Structure 1
Amino acid sequence: MQPRRQKRLAAVILVIALLTGAVAAMLYALQQNIDLFYTPSQLVEGLGKDKVKPVPGQRLRIGGMVVPGSVQRDPNSLKVSFDLVDTGPLVRVTYEGILPDLFREGQGIVAQGILVDATTIDASEVLAKHDEEYMPPEVAEAMKGIKHVPPSQQTTSEAPVKEGRY
């Protein structure tokens, strides 16, 4: 092989190696910033046909409706905890900070935080929807035709009703 061709080949290999390294470094850096979106049912039951569940310590976003009567505030600090629901299981969200002005029971919210255990999220941010009609598409699809009856209001023979709106 001629020296000129060897230099070109080395330059091409070097460029490909640098591009591969840059892409790998970007993917590694972005891996820590990816937050997957779940509904309470998807969080508890798993996502997809393989029923993949997030692991404790994983960052994620969860969206659902705040269960009426579930909001508990610590009188000595800004800690608050509440339950979220969509079509089935409840998920407990704990948060320390000032909640948005639009936050209230029965309201749709999205919380971003870390999964503590299978049904508990330690939120770092809580977002409330802006008007009565808007709902994130994933939450709207999950909430279609659902009416949640809190366990405290259910009779022993009554199961959650799956008609109407929340």
Structure 2
Amino acid sequence: MKARNKRLLLVGGGVALLVAAVALVLTAFQQNLVFFHTPSEVYEGKAPTGRAFRIGGMVEEGSIRREADGLTVSFAITDTAKVIPVTYRGTLPDLFQEGKGAVVQGMLDAGGHFRATEVLAKHDENYMPVEAQYAIDQAHKAAQTVQQ
């Protein structure tokens, strides 16, 4: 085999390995990508079906219910316009409370109930993720427009 053919074979093999590596990285990235949505967006059908995503908002007052097993908790997340019921099995963060901000990650079931796999509570009174604050403000404006 000529030297030129060997070089072409090596370059072609290197390019093939590079393409395979990039494809694997992009596939892994796509599988781990989690989008943020508000309860209003979920009601509008903008949330993905069959994929994990996050919902952010406030824990609705009076909505926290603990099951007898001590691990299963039901509550509702609201953006002041719409409410999404959530069920979570596990230990909640210490700062998780009614009337406080939270972000939950999981999937929406066929009945419109959110099955959370992770619950994040805001860490102090002054912090709210920019996306969550914007979404709450927009939902509040929309609710005021409808009431007028």
TM-score greater than 0.5 by the shorter chain: yes
* Alignment match of 2:119 (pick from 126, 131, 156): 126
Give the aligned CA root-mean-square deviation in angstroms: 2.2
Write the deviation string for residues 57-89 of structure 1: whole angstroms up to 9, x where unpaired: 311111111111111111333211111111522
Larger CA deviation: 15-24 vs 113-122: 113-122
Contact residue 41 and residue 87 of structure 1 kept, 8 A: no
Deviation at 1:117, TM superposition (A): 3.0
For 2:34 and 2:138, the matched residues in 1 are separated by: 27
Task: Say which is worse superposed, 66-75 or 137-146, in terms of deviation.
Answer: 137-146
Q: Give the distance between the partners of 1:14 and 1:162, measured in 2 at CA.
A: 62
Distance in 1 (CA, whole Å) between partners of 2:102 and 2:83 is 14
The answer to whether the 8 A contact 2:86-2:116 is kept is yes
Distance 1:4 1:145 in 2: 66
Distance 1:82 1:13 in 2: 56
Tell me if structure 1 keeps the 8 A contact 2:53–2:105: yes
Is the 1:44–1:118 Cα contact (8 Å) retained in structure 2?
no
CA distance in 2, matches of 1:90, 1:77: 24
Question: C-alpha displacement at 1:10, in angstroms?
Answer: 1.6
Corresponding letter in the other structure for 2:25: M
Corresponding residue of 1:111:
104
Residue of structure 1 in register with 2:17 after alignment: 18
Tell me the distance in 2 between the aligned counterparts of 1:120 and 1:67: 15
The one-letter code matched in structure 1 to 2:107 is I
One-letter code aligned to 1:32 = Q
Task: Report sequence identity in percent.
Answer: 48
- Structure with greater helix percent: 2
Following the alignment from structure 1 to structure 2, what is the Cα–Cα distance between the partners of residues 144 and 68? 18
Q: Does 1:95 align with 2:88?
A: yes
Alpha carbons of structure 1 residues 162 and 145: separation in structure 2 relative to 1, 3 Å: farther
Q: Which amino acid aligns with 2:48?
A: P
Extract unaligned runs of 5+ from structure 1. Answer: 48-52, 148-159
Can you give the 5+ residue segments of structure 2 that lack an aligned partner in the other structure?
none
Contact 2:57 2:101 in 1 (8 A): yes
